[in-house]
Structure 1
């Protein structure tokens, strides 16, 4: 989820914690728990700082080790080392319990996005992305914010937040049902499909669709039960050539390939320079595919420049490529 939703989730979880008698009857424990749930709902995204290093590091590592099983166990202990000295009279066990729930809930919510997490590390590096909920979901953010405001204006959090979390569970189940219905429609439309990827959008009933068959990629848009085909491409395997091996060894291309489950590629040679482009097919927006990677290689198989990341404007795409440092 986005940072804002994680933040209001932390507040709501702090309110929900008041159903715990130990928390409710101890003002210091309650204060500590609110701080812990807000910070715990944010801390797995500390790897966002990798954006300042480069896109390749961010793409390869974001929602990776910081969202792993060891991290979910260690983050609460790390936070208690800082919070308990500030709130020495807080109940340590219950403070740890609600901090752990906050960290776990952050990772759990991220699993339902299209981006996903590597939540099973170190047992598996597979990306788990169920694709039920958009990264920013207006309903989720609004109802969590509403609960926080009701608490702020004096309502008993023991009445507010259990009801809100029950509604949220129902909302997730509704999103699952809608996705399942669209998925079954796509299976009938593309019976030869090897893989179907559904990405939710900001609009409740609109989904991005990528379908992989033996010979083709199909890109579509789903609205309720209607499937609108937008693009189709031949599915071309990567050639087993030295220049492609060099391209795959580049850090930007390698990061892209480690993350993208469905993409097409293009190769073009001009004036002794070969340009290889990789285009992720999951995020088509306004007739454009914004998540890309590309590399330039000379006749001597030297990498001249490369890039991976999100570019939403075609003109900026061309300008970005022209200004990549060698």
Structure 2
């Protein structure tokens, strides 16, 4: 989920924590727990700072080890220790347990996004991504905002947010059934589909779909139960040729290939350089595929510059490559 949604979830969990008799009777512990649930709801996403290094490193590692089983155990200890420096009178165990719940909740809800997490590390590096809820879901966010407003108006916070969480849990069930319906409709349309990758969007009734068959990739939009094929591409494996092999050694391309489950490639020869592109097919928007990896190489196959990330127009991509420093 996005930072804002994790933040309001932390507040909601702090409200539910007032059910704990120790917290309800101790204002110091209550305030400490509220800070703990907010911090715990944010901590796993501290790896966002990896963007400061570069996009490739961020793509490879975001929601990786910081969402792993060891991290889930470590974050509550670190947060509890830090809070106790400022509130030593707070009950250590109850502060720790509610912070622990906040961290678990963060990782749990991230599993339902298309991006997913490596929540099974160190036992598996597989990305767990159910693709049911968009990274920012307006309904989930604003349900929390309503709960916070109601709390401020004087209603019991535990009762309020238990109600909010129950409604959201039902919403998750509805979204999961919607995704199954989309998958079933796509199977009827493309019987030879080997893999169907469904990604939620900002809009409740709209889904991105990418399909792999033996010979083709299909890009599909599902809107209110209507399935429409937008693009069809021949499924071509990455060729074993020098220019492609050289491009694949670039860190941006390597990061892209480690992250994207369905993509196509293109290679061009210009007047003074080669250009190789890898294009993720999951996120078609207004006729454009915004998540890409692009490499420019000279005719000796030296990498001049490269980029991976989100670009929403060809013009912006050209500017990005033009102003990147030469490697």
Note whether the superposition's TM-score is higher than 0.5: yes
Q: CA deviation at 1:244?
A: 2.1
- Whether 1:185 and 2:205 are equivalent positions in the alignment is no
1:273 is displaced (CA, Å) by: 2.1
- State the alpha-carbon separation in 2 of the partners of residues 159 and 111 from structure 1: 26
> What residue number does 2:246 align with?
246
User: Where does residue 303 of structure 1 map in the other structure?
Assistant: 303
Give me the whole-angstrom Cα distance separating, in 2, the residues matched to 1:293 and 1:120.
28
Report if the CA contact (8 A) 1:182-1:224 is conserved: no
Measured after TM superposition, the shift of residue 56 of structure 1 is 0.8
* Matched residue, 1:75: 75
- In the aligned structure 1, how far is the partner of 2:222 from the partner of 2:252? 31
**What CA distance in whole angstroms lies between the structure 1 residues aligned with 2:123 and 2:250?**
26
Task: Tell me the distance in 2 between the aligned counterparts of 1:37 and 1:278.
Answer: 40
- CA-to-aligned-CA distance 1:71-108 (integer Å, 9 cap, x gap): 11100001111112222222211111110110111111
**Residue deviations 1:225-274, cap 9 Å, x none?**
21011111111100112332221111100010011000000011123522
Show the counterpart of 1:319: 319
For residues 158 and 38 of structure 1, the distance between their equivalents in structure 2, rounded to whole angstroms, comes to: 16
> Which position in structure 2 is the counterpart of 1:216?
216
Give distance in 1, aligned partners of 2:314 and 2:241.
29
**SS across alignment from 2:166:** helix
Structure 1: which 4+ aligned runs deviate by more than 6 Å?
none
Match of 2:288, SS? Answer: coil
Residue 124 of structure 1 deviates from its aligned partner by 1.6
In the TM superposition, residue 188 of structure 1 has moved relative to its aligned partner by 1.4
Which runs of 5 or more residues in structure 2 are unaligned? none
Q: Residues 217 and 234 of structure 1 are in contact (CA less than 8 Å); yes or no, is this contact kept in structure 2?
A: yes
> Who is 2:143 aligned against?
143
Q: What secondary structure, in the 3-state scheme, does the structure 2 residue paired with 1:160 have?
A: helix
CA distances 1:104-151 after superposition (whole Å, capped 9, x unpaired): 111111111111111111222221111100111111001111111111
Q: Give the gaps of 5 or more residues in structure 1.
A: none
Q: Which range is displaced more, 266-275 or 4-13? A: 266-275
How many pairs are equivalent? 326
State which drifts further: 59-68 or 8-17.
Answer: 59-68
Instruction: Give 1:271's aligned residue.
Output: 271
Q: Which residue of 2 aligns with 1:131?
A: 131
The CA distance in 2 between the partners of 1:257 and 1:43, in whole Å, is 27
TM-score, normalised with respect to structure 1: 0.97
Instruction: State the shift of 1:163 in Å.
Output: 1.1
Q: Does 1:38 align with 2:44?
A: no
